[in-house]
Amino acid sequence: MSDFSWLRSPLSFLQARLLDLTHIDLLVAEEAWWRGEGVAISGDIDRAGTPWLRMFDRDGQRVDEILYPREYQTILKRGYRAGVIWRALEEKSLIPTYSLMHVISFHDPGVCCPYTVSLGTAVPLAKYGSAELQGRFLPQLLRKDDSVWQGATWMTEIKGGSDLGAAVETSARSAGDGWRLTGEKYFTSNAGAELAVVAARPEGAARGVRGAALFLVPRVRGNGELNYFVRRLKDKIATRSVPTGEVELKESEGYLLGSADSGIYMILEVLNLSRVANSVVSVALAQRAMAGALSYAEKRRAFGKKILEHPLLLRQFEERMKGLRSAFALAWESVHLLNEVWMERSPYSERYQLFRLVAHLAKYWTAEFAVDTAKWAIEVHGGLGVLAEYGAERWLREAMILAIWEGTSHRQILDGMEVMERKRAHKLLFGRLEEHALSKEVEEMEAEVEQHLRLPVEEREALAEPMFRKLAIFTAETLSRASR
């Protein structure tokens, strides 16, 4: 029988798959804390349900305070102290950040959302903010104690998030001391954050994506009053470890990042940071779901033996493990490529275009794999799998958001097609894969992609998913073989 024991440890999995893993002592301590304390706290928070919003204090003043079980801050602030944000900029590497995310999200995928959007606030501020803005706000995001500020990335409005050119209606007008933003953001992860990067359209800017700019919006105005308002929190399927709400901007003080005509590039850079994080979290969640299924399958007996010993289920575990290794290889290819290019600015290098394609493939396939694996883990548990008290159903809830957050699977397919059509990024990808696959395999996959790209426009889009899925799996499996 195959040895599945390493499924139970996210750190063991990382060590088995990564040659460049650093900060081992940090990751050992993180895993030990989660096993000793964090798992129980996380379970209590999940059972407590959606956080709630206290809009007014006793004097009737608007405060918009997000209320959680007290222990929530124990989990949240631990990750910030460990360096999930500050290490990226201090050490000029994203490897520690995403390694921590894997270990943490094995136990609580949702808590990595605040970390991800905080990273998506700190990085554009460090890259594009003026010296005055960096001096004023960046140290707060990089603190190493519990006074650290949280960030947020708010792009989506009621018309949706994919078509930014048409959906961004929040306006920005120039003022003597910055900008004033007015509008509504419909899906605001980490509502209540001290600082957010917000997509808005400067007055007089062109319609379409080229007219969108990126602004820094603090929670509190210069005079101490609230600078944005949380209309409500959403009671949603999926994670309960992050407050998702609706935010109103009413002449909110904001500060332009970079230039107004380059906003779309900055917005997409922020999204790409999140998409890579989404891929890492997806793999960790799939590992967690498999670990839970393994523990149950080792104990549950049916027809005279452990259900893990039945050939059909044993074969499913073995195939699922191959899929997990492949999904991990694809996710971490996107991590390593991003780590090479994350400080680039437009116009981007060919290496950046390769990263874009791999990021879309990884975000698409790992999210699909996570949902499918969580569903399968419920089936392994049988009837107990659908009962909230035993935990298996949580991983399916947590996984459901991963295919939607920061661009649906459809969006990844279409954007991946665009970078192949316009930037020929697939040529760079196949050059990378030739090192680890048979030449005939690569040639056949490349021919299939080229044939698809020659289809008429509407047919090319309509038939895109089977080809994109096949390319994602081919890339994942090839990279997995290379990492053995």
Inform me whether the pLDDT recorded for 288 exceeds 90.
yes
Give pLDDT, residue 1.
Answer: 58
Mean pLDDT of 149-165: 85
Inform me whether the pLDDT recorded for 241 exceeds 90.
no
Q: How far is it between the farthest Cα atoms of the chain?
A: 78
Mean pLDDT of 374-384: 96
The architecture of the domain spanning 264-482 is Up-down Bundle (1.20)
Tokens of 481: 């073989």
Q: Give per-residue pLDDT as tens, 45-86.
A: 888 887 889 999 999 999 999 998 888 999 999 999 999 999
Inform me whether the pLDDT recorded for 483 exceeds 80.
no
> b/e map of 282-309 (b: 16 or more CB within 10 Å)?
bbbbbbbbbbbbbebbeeeeeeeeebbe
Inform me whether the pLDDT recorded for 2 exceeds 80.
no
Give pLDDT, residue 161.
Answer: 67
Share of the chain above pLDDT 70, in %: 99
Give pLDDT, residue 6.
Answer: 86
Question: Residue 100 class from Cβ within 10 Å (0-12 exposed, 13-18 middle, 19+ buried)?
Answer: buried
Band of the pLDDT at 40, cuts 50, 70, 90? very high
Mean pLDDT across the chain: 94
Give pLDDT, residue 136.
Answer: 97
Inform me whether the pLDDT recorded for 370 exceeds 80.
yes
Inform me whether the pLDDT recorded for 305 exceeds 80.
yes
Give pLDDT, residue 167.
Answer: 81
Q: Where are the domains of the chain?
A: 5-141, 151-261, 264-482
Q: What class is the 151-261 domain? A: mainly beta
Give pLDDT, residue 57.
Answer: 94
The reply to whether CATH 2.60.120.260 applies to domain 5-141 is no
Task: Report the chain's C-alpha Rg in angstroms.
Answer: 22
The CB density around residue 397, as the number of other CB atoms within 10 Å, is 18
Inform me whether the pLDDT recorded for 484 exceeds 60.
no
Give φ, ψ of 256 to 5 degrees: -70, 135
Q: Give per-residue pLDDT as tens, 79-110.
A: 999 999 999 999 999 999 999 999 999 999 99
CA 177 vs CA 195, 201, 291: distances in Å = 18, 18, 54
Inform me whether the pLDDT recorded for 149 exceeds 60.
yes
pTM (two decimals): 0.96
Give φ, ψ of 408 to 5 degrees: -65, 170
